[in-house]
């Protein structure tokens, strides 16, 4: 059994991390979810569909990793808890997971485009290129298995037509992975836009015009 003080600290950490996602514009509204490992078979997760600003530490349910249908305390857990459980079960060195929808990384996920490891930062922080998991509806086995396969050997992956999943040994590390991913996706999109348009200065309007042209 884990220490109660550790549980209380992690409850506060998960609560604060949800607010942090909003403050850093790394998620929209109530989307996304967070988990923190309590012990080898239990995790704290964010509840489903609730505003991060209004959550309390006591709202975070405890979910069994080996059987995420089993949970206690708090409010109803996120429907994506099976992904968090599967990743934590397969990666004993990982203690924190963030599923989110940052703007530019979600563009890549929606296009189902992998991100090559074009920078030393990506190689160091991600462990290499960032793959795209097989598409599946939220809460489904297909989405879970696709995410686990895509993040194997890496610290982040795209979830096709959906968002991103990032992991770390600590919550701060998982946040750093998410920030680095969004930053490098933006740089990659910027480079590809300039390459395809022959322009020398990037703007978001230029990206939008390129997208519209590609669909016409």
> Quick one: what percent of the chain has pLDDT higher than 70?
99
Provide CB contacts within 8 A for 148, sequence distance 6+.
83, 86, 87, 90, 133
With cut-offs at 50, 70 and 90, classify the pLDDT of residue 165. very high
Tell me if residue 80 is catalytic.
Answer: yes
- Residue by residue, DSSP assigns the chain as ---HHHHHHHHHHHHHHHHHHHHTT-S-TT--EEEEEEETTEEEEPBTT--GGG--GGGPPEEESS-TT-EESSSPBPTTHHHHHHHHHH-TT--EEEEE--HHHHHHHHHT--B---SHHHHHHHSS-B-EEPP--TT-HHHHHHHHHHTTTSSEEEETTTEEEEEESSHHHHHHHHHHHHHHHHHHHHHHHHHHH--SS--HHHHHHHHHHHH-
For the cut 80, the answer to whether the pLDDT of residue 175 exceeds it is yes
Across 140-147, average pLDDT: 93
Q: What is the pLDDT of residue 39?
A: 96
Q: What is the C-alpha to C-alpha distance for residues 86 and 156, in angstroms, rounded to an integer?
A: 14
pLDDT digits (tens, 9 = 90+) for 184-207: 999 999 999 999 999 999 998 898
Instruction: Work out whether the CA dihedral 71, 40, 11, 103 comes out positive or negative.
Output: negative
> Quick one: what percent of the chain has pLDDT higher than 90?
81
Catalytic residue, from 40, 58, 80, 121: name it.
80
Across 28-37, average pLDDT: 88
Q: What is the pLDDT of residue 216?
A: 57
Q: What is the pLDDT of residue 177?
A: 98
pLDDT digits (tens, 9 = 90+) for 77-118: 999 999 999 999 999 999 999 999 999 999 999 999 999 999
Annotated domain spans of the chain: 4-215
With cut-offs at 50, 70 and 90, classify the pLDDT of residue 36. very high
Q: What is the pLDDT of residue 149?
A: 96
Across 57-79, average pLDDT: 96
pTM beyond cutoff 0.85: yes
Across 157-163, average pLDDT: 95
Q: Would you state the CATH architecture of domain 4-215?
A: 3-Layer(aba) Sandwich (3.40)
CB 48 within 8 A of CB 77: yes
> 115-123 long-range contacts, Cβ below 8 Å, gap at least 24?
115/158, 115/181, 115/184, 115/185, 115/188, 116/188, 118/184, 118/188, 119/184, 119/187, 121/180, 121/184, 122/180, 122/184
Q: What is the pLDDT of residue 12?
A: 97
Q: What is the pLDDT of residue 215?
A: 61
Q: What is the pLDDT of residue 139?
A: 81
């Amino acid at each position: 059994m884990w220490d109660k003080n550790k549980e209380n600290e992690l409850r506060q950490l998960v609560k604060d991390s949800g607010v942090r996602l909003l403050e850093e514009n790394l998620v929209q509204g109530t989307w996304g979810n967070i988990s923190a490992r309590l012990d080898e078979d239990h995790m704290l997760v964010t509840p489903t569909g609730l505003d991060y600003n209004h959550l309390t530490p006591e709202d975070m349910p405890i979910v069994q990793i080996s059987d995420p249908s089993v949970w206690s305390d708090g409010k109803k857990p996120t429907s994506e808890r099976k992904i968090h459980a599967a990743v934590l079960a397969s990666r004993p060195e990982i203690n924190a997971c963030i599923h989110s929808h940052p703007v530019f990384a979600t563009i890549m996920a929606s296009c189902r485009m992998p991100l090559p490891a074009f920078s030393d930062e990506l190689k160091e922080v991600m462990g290499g290129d960032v793959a795209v998991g097989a598409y599946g509806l939220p809460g489904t086995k297909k989405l879970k298995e696709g995410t686990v396969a895509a993040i194997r050997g890496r610290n982040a992956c795209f979830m096709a037509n959906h968002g991103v999943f990032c992991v770390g040994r600590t919550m701060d590390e998982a946040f750093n992975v998410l920030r680095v991913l969004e930053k490098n996706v933006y740089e990659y999109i910027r480079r590809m836009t300039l390459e395809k348009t022959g322009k020398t200065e990037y703007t978001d309007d230029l990206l939008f015009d390129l997208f519209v042209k590609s669909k016409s």
